[in-house]
Amino acid sequence: MKPTSLTSRITLIAGLASVAVTATACGGDDGGGDAASGGPVTVTYWSSTDGAKETAQAFNKTHKNVKVKFAEIPAGPDGVTKLSNAVKAQNGPDVATMDYSALPEFASQGNLTDLSDAAGPLVKGKFPANMRSLVTLGGKTWAVPFDVTPLELYYRKDLFKKYGVEVPRTWADFKKAAETVKKKDPKVRITNFGGGDPAIMAGLAWQAGAKWFTTSGNSWKVRMRDTASMKVADYWTGLVKDDLVSKTPLWAPEETKERASGKTAAFIGAAWSAGGMKTTYGDAKGKWGIAPLPSWDGEPASAMYGGTSYVVPKGSGKTEAAAQFIEWVTTTEAGIKARFESAKAPSSALPANDEMRKVAAETYDASYWGKDTDPYAIASTAADSIVPGWTWSPVQGQVLAAMQKTAAGFDQGQAAGQRAAEKGIKERGLNLAK
């Protein structure tokens, strides 16, 4: 994958001086617990990701000195809150998965173990520069990347053909397609966009060239209503106002019903979205296709939507054993296969480690998509087009929570996020630039 200036995330530390101070004091390699004798070291592992349980089981079958005890936790903000509370109560796990967007905030609060010694060489040797930048703050390694998550367009091939709609290359084409779908069948919409997922809002703004959070010296700039963001907000507000998209909230049960019944003909997802299609929409085998996300000028452009890294929470005491499991699950063929061969919830994640992409592609059963769709080829190309220059906030949890509370509306969500970011940055004692 081509490096992008996602590496600019490392500049995050300019406005996050507390990462270098607080986290260094609280973290570090406290691997004394790894030296225990008389039996294997048991590490606890918390995750909400598909195939996590099966991965732990496979590791335990092939390793004698380290054993993994798995526990499932909620996805999204609820999972981050659970992990944060557990660390504060000094009963957190030894290994956990974490969204890239949550890393800066979690590290700055001193909730992570510094993995520079235990996993730094692995990250440097096995991952490209753009992925290393996601997990490196203040010159220290706080996590190990697992996947890269470019936005893509998922669409019903049969419905597009039925309504005479071409796969849109631009957002102008997407609007025209939306108009055609509604005209051909007033009961069908091209997609749903009723709010409910701040990460989608962030990704669409990112793709348009927005930079919600930047640093200037030791100060943070918050620009969630910049020109690019407002262009995106106006576009989607217009589609909703003109009744060209369903107002069903993202991730609502009704969303699944609309897709299953053909009431919506497409949705915006990421590389990992392909994994759940077989189990959620099994009756539609061969009907769905995947395409690059439409862009504003027709040139390839994408952004990240989620993404998983592996961390060792503060207080583990079993850093070396945890790092051994993390290395196995992120950079070995056996680890990748264990996750991707999960019968319950097959994963379509695009590994951040280039060597593992071929293994993932060969392991993932792509028969659901038909011979004309190669999920991994499309995802890899999309990953190469991720727009550079995006940085996450040091108070991202507060930002997402504020956006989540807005009933609907791209513009309202951004405004709420802007206010929450400014308030949170000030409350954390960080400098806020005007």
Domain map (residue ranges) of the chain: 5-147+307-363, 151-303+390-432
CA distance 275 to 148: 14
Q: Within its chain, how far is the Cα of 328 from the centroid? A: 21
CA distance 314 to 322: 12
Q: What would the mean pLDDT of 157-166 be, rounded to a whole number?
A: 98
Site of tokens 């659970």: 82
- Decide whether 5-147+307-363 matches 151-303+390-432 in CATH topology: yes
pLDDT band at 368 (very low <50, low <70, confident <90, very high): very high
Residue 16 has pLDDT above 50, yes or no: no
Tens-place pLDDT, residues 292-335: 999 999 999 999 999 999 999 999 999 999 999 999 999 999 99
**Packing angle, helices 354-363 and 333-340, rounded to 10:** 40
Residue 261: partners with Cβ closer than 8 Å, 6 or more residues away: none
CA of 277: how far to CAs of 22, 27, 261, 265, 271, in Å? 42, 40, 14, 14, 12
Q: What would the mean pLDDT of 392-411 be, rounded to a whole number?
A: 82
Tens-place pLDDT, residues 265-276: 999 999 999 988
Tens-place pLDDT, residues 28-56: 334 444 444 568 999 999 999 888 999 99
HSE value, Cβ hemisphere, 13 Å, CA-based, for 200:
23
Residue 209: φ, ψ to 5°: 100, 10
Query: What is the reported pLDDT for 15?
Result: 38
- Superfamily of domain 151-303+390-432 in CATH is Periplasmic binding protein-like II (3.40.190.10)
Query: What is the reported pLDDT for 346?
Result: 66
Query: What is the reported pLDDT for 20?
Result: 38
Query: What is the reported pLDDT for 407?
Result: 57
Residue 427: φ, ψ to 5°: -65, -30
Q: What is the pTM of this model?
A: 0.84
Q: What would the mean pLDDT of 217-237 be, rounded to a whole number?
A: 93
Which 3 state secondary structure label does DSSP give 256? helix
Q: Which fold has domain 5-147+307-363?
A: D-Maltodextrin-Binding Protein; domain 2 (3.40.190)
Query: Among 4-8, 209-213, 345-349, whose mean pLDDT is lowest?
Result: 4-8
